[in-house]
A and B are shown apart, each in its own frame.
Chain A
Amino acid sequence: QVQLQESGPGLVKPSQTLSLTCTVSGGSFSSGGYYWSWIRQHPGKGLEWIGYIYYSGNTYYNPSLKSRVTISVDTSKNQFSLKLSSVTAADTAVYYCARGTATVTGSDWFDPWGQGTLVTVSS
């Protein structure tokens, strides 16, 4: 049973970089067929996909956030990380990590998800 757990600061100052880590347990992080993803949810709002990384290090980002996002992986620790630079109050959200299942058609889905962590951007 694969489980994911987010960790990182809950408060970030405007213009700084948000950094979160997702630790994967209970499964093979380096097995093919899965993408390791970040998704966020603004308070009281819907879901927004941020990007993903393959265990090999290949990344794919939401074009609307691409200029500020970096996702990296540490296979030795079964972890992947998110960095979002130049944050503003608009980046305040619950951030989830999730495993994406790759399909040949690109119709990928996300399961399971971490419990989520609230990050507030405020001075």
Chain B
Amino acid sequence: QSVLTQPPSVSGAPGQRVTISCTGSSSNIGAGYDVHWYQQLPGTAPKLLIYGNSNRPSGVPDRFSGSKSGTSASLAISGLQAEDEADYYCQSYDSSLSGYVFGTGTKVTVL
């Protein structure tokens, strides 16, 4: 059971902006642990998209941005493209569970 909650799905037309929320608690995001985001294209391994709440690894388009506030974090995709259709997962550390935790995952559909 995931301790980080994400909406099951979000959708948008090409060019639009969508956001994905990641809701945690006082033992993970609210405790100050950073949030990271991964993109999983169909049939492939997850790929790091955002680290340290808002940092993009080299090669990740600046259409992807992350933020964190309180016990939640968000991933925004602006200028949505067909190639962005994928599952997205947030990840942090939980001090109560003494381990790394992932979000429930969100499927992004480009209409």
CB-CB contacts of A34-69 with B at 8 A, as 1s and 0s?
000000000000111100000000000011100000
Contact (A105, B32) CB under 8 Å given A96-B45, A110-B91, A111-B57 = yes
In whole Å, how far is A74's beta carbon from the nearest beta carbon of chain B? Answer: 23
Contact (A109, B105) CB under 8 Å given A47-B89, A103-B34, A115-B44 = no
Decide yes or no whether A28 CB sits under 8 A from chain B. no
Contact partner of A107 (CB less than 8 A), chosen from B38, B52, B102, B105, is: B52
Q: Which residues of A contact B51 (CB under 8 A)?
A: 101, 109, 111
In whole Å, how far is B29's beta carbon from the nearest beta carbon of chain A? Answer: 10
Chain A residue nearest to B100 (CB atoms) is A49
Contact partner of B45 (CB less than 8 A), chosen from A49, A62, A116, is: A116
Decide yes or no whether A106 CB sits under 8 A from chain B. yes
Chain A residue nearest to B92 (CB atoms) is A107
CB interface residues, A 85-122, toward B, < 8 Å: 96, 101, 103, 105-116
Decide yes or no whether B104 CB sits under 8 A from chain A. yes
Decide yes or no whether B64 CB sits under 8 A from chain A. no
Additional A-B contacts beyond A101-B51, A109-B51 (7; CB < 8 A): A46-B105, A106-B93, A107-B93, A110-B91, A111-B47, A113-B45, A115-B45
| B binding-site residues for A, Cβ under 8 Å | 2, 32-34, 36, 38, 44-48, 51-52, 57, 89, 91-93, 97-105
| A binding-site residues for B, Cβ under 8 Å | 46-49, 62-64, 96, 101, 103, 105-116
Q: Which 10 A-B residue pairs are closest in the complex by CB-CB distance?
A: A107-B34, A111-B48, A47-B102, A109-B36, A49-B100, A113-B45, A109-B51, A62-B99, A107-B33, A46-B105
CB<8 Å pairs between A and B, sample of 20: A47-B38, A47-B105, A49-B101, A49-B102, A63-B98, A96-B45, A96-B46, A107-B52, A107-B92, A107-B93, A108-B93, A109-B51, A110-B36, A110-B38, A111-B47, A111-B48, A112-B47, A112-B48, A113-B45, A114-B45
